[in-house]
Structure 1
Amino acid sequence: MQTEKVVDHIVNWLKEYATSANLNGFVVGISGGIDSAVTSALCAKTGMRTLCLEMPIHQDPNQVSRGLKHINYLKEHYANVTNLHVDLTSAFEDFKKALPDGEENPNLHLSLANTRARFRMTTLYYFAGLHGYLVAGTGNKVEDFGVGFYSKYGDGGVDLSPIADLMKSEVYELGRFLNVNNEILNAPPTDGLFGDGRSDEDQIGASYDELEWAMIMDEQNKTASHFTGREQEVFKIYKRLNTINQHKMLPIPVCNIPVHLKK
């Protein structure tokens, strides 16, 4: 990959989009992970106002400190970068108290994890509305179009997606070029939505390198029968998630009413 040219292409695309939309800059949620670090650095390089938001909800202190270290680096190198820390923990807990008891429901923890992501999305759009900014998405190609590993209307609720055509390995390549700190580069990817330190690989059952391979094989019209052992297992994981998460990746279905029924 021609890393420097890819960076320049994304930065120009961001700047042109924001300018044509007559908006002032970008707001990015900072998680302490590689995707948000690269996205915020790309936004910063546009020279347009870039607001980095930390929005912890019972967050692992290591994730918070990694994110803050990255923000401080951006602020030292880009005068257009500002940041805010908005702790959403108490708001999240108040929301939970307002709900009926769901402790016996097996879907409770996943539902609450998605709710955390939607709290953050709402916060990002609050500040975007205040300042005339665009919400920049942090999803990569494997997450957004491969396995659908994001919360619908949570981290999937954005105005534009600067790195969604990049595989995870390519995001890391951009991260190294953009001087993202080693703590972030070496940290196991995690969505941080469960508060127990589980990684993305723990949740998915496969690493991003494995998922990239499966995505490429699927694009080549391969099937599980082409593989054995771990490769077959990974391919089946990929296909299962790709299938069940199509509702995230496809446009919202609209019930089209036949013309004759409207007469």
Structure 2
Amino acid sequence: MQKKKIFPVESANEQIVSWLKAYADNAKVNGFVVGISGGVDSAVTSTLCAQTGLPVLCVEMPIHQAPSHVSRAKEHIAQLQARFPNVSNAVADLTETFETFKKAVPTSENETKLNLSLANTRARLRMTTLYYFAGIHGLLVAGTGNKVEDFGVGFFTKYGDGGVDLSPIADLVKSEVFQLAAYLKVPESILTAKPTDGLFGDDRSDEDQIGASYDELEWAMQEDENGKTSDAFSGREKVVFDIYKRLNRINQHKMEPIPVCKLNL
């Protein structure tokens, strides 16, 4: 697997902030709202939004959250507010809401499907909450997905963390997000934490769920774009490439526009 190239972080920083400013101006909105998870993607996204000088609302939305996620989120928000006077924060504890939802719907004997459905429900409750804050404050919901998640393996919840108004870092692969995070002086606790979606109430990482690291998935994404097939690889490379291709195939419904039945009348 090839070594990652260092990309021009300063130029990327300037371009994204300029794009955010222009988008907000054209949309005639006040600023941005970002859900803060304690992970690197939301930390980078919120910092980029803060650099616009426009109001930025950072929202914590715990649902039976692991303490480490909560502490990292709070550390990041505190640091961001110390650096940028345009940043404010809010906490919407959705644990009780989530538990009420569980009581209102039937359960399932298929534990795997049940747990995944409930994990996606958490993401969709958070999306609804972000749009509530966006509505009352006249803000845009800034997405936190990166290129590998959004366009490679579809590792996000449809109408959950995938339900946003704009995606500032969706053209960056994960290694580039980390390089930009270091440049933006994101807290070390976030830079060294294993990436996780935090949807299961424990510390399982994205790699635990996917079966491959982001570095591996970036490699597979590049090889796929270069026209390679599974037959070109062996060993661990073949395993990773097959994981990537399988997820890319089954999650196309997340990446493509909603299919519309066109009538011929």
- For residues 120-144 of structure 1, the C-alpha deviation after alignment (integer angstroms, 9 at most, x for no partner) is 0000000000011000000000000
Number of the residue aligned with 2:204: 198
Give yes or no for the alignment of 1:174 onto 2:180: yes
Residue 223 of structure 2: which of 200, 209, 217 is its match?
217
1:107 match: secondary structure? helix
Residue 139 of structure 2: which of 133, 152, 161 is its match?
133
Deviation, structure 1 residue 113: 0.3
Number of the residue aligned with 1:24: 30
Superposed, 1:93-132 pairs within 5 Å as 93-132=99-138
Residue 11 of structure 2: which of 5, 9, 13 is its match?
5
Number of the residue aligned with 2:4: none
Task: Give the whole-Å Cα distance in 1 for the aligned partners of 2:112 and 2:182.
Answer: 40
| TM-score normalised by length of structure 2 | 0.97
Deviation, structure 1 residue 101: 2.6
Give yes or no for the alignment of 1:256 onto 2:262: yes
Superposed, 1:155-174 pairs within 5 Å as 155-174=161-180
Residue 61 of structure 1: which of 53, 57, 67 is its match?
67
Q: CA RMSD in A?
A: 0.7
Aligned-pair identity in percent equals 68
Task: Give the whole-Å Cα distance in 2 for the aligned partners of 1:146 and 1:57.
Answer: 27
Number of the residue aligned with 1:144: 150
The unaligned stretches of length 5 or more in structure 2 are 1-6
Deviation, structure 1 residue 196: 2.4
Deviation, structure 1 residue 100: 1.4
Deviation, structure 1 residue 104: 4.0
The unaligned stretches of length 5 or more in structure 1 are none
Structure 1 outlier segments of 4+, above 6 Å? none
Letter in 1 for 2:258: I
Residue 153 of structure 1: which of 153, 159, 162 is its match?
159
Letter in 2 for 1:200: D
Task: Give the whole-Å Cα distance in 1 for the aligned partners of 2:11 and 2:254.
Answer: 31
Task: Give the whole-Å Cα distance in 2 for the aligned partners of 1:87 and 1:62.
Answer: 16
Superposed, 1:218-233 pairs within 5 Å as 218-233=224-239
Deviation, structure 1 residue 5: 1.1
2:90 match: secondary structure? strand
How many residues in Structure 1 have an aligned counterpart in Structure 2? 259
Letter in 2 for 1:80: N
Moved more, 21-30 or 95-104: 95-104
| TM-score normalised by length of structure 1 | 0.97
Deviation, structure 1 residue 2: 1.4
1:79 match: secondary structure? coil
2:258 match: secondary structure? coil
Do the aligned partners of 2:65 and 2:202 also contact (CA within 8 Å) in 1?
no
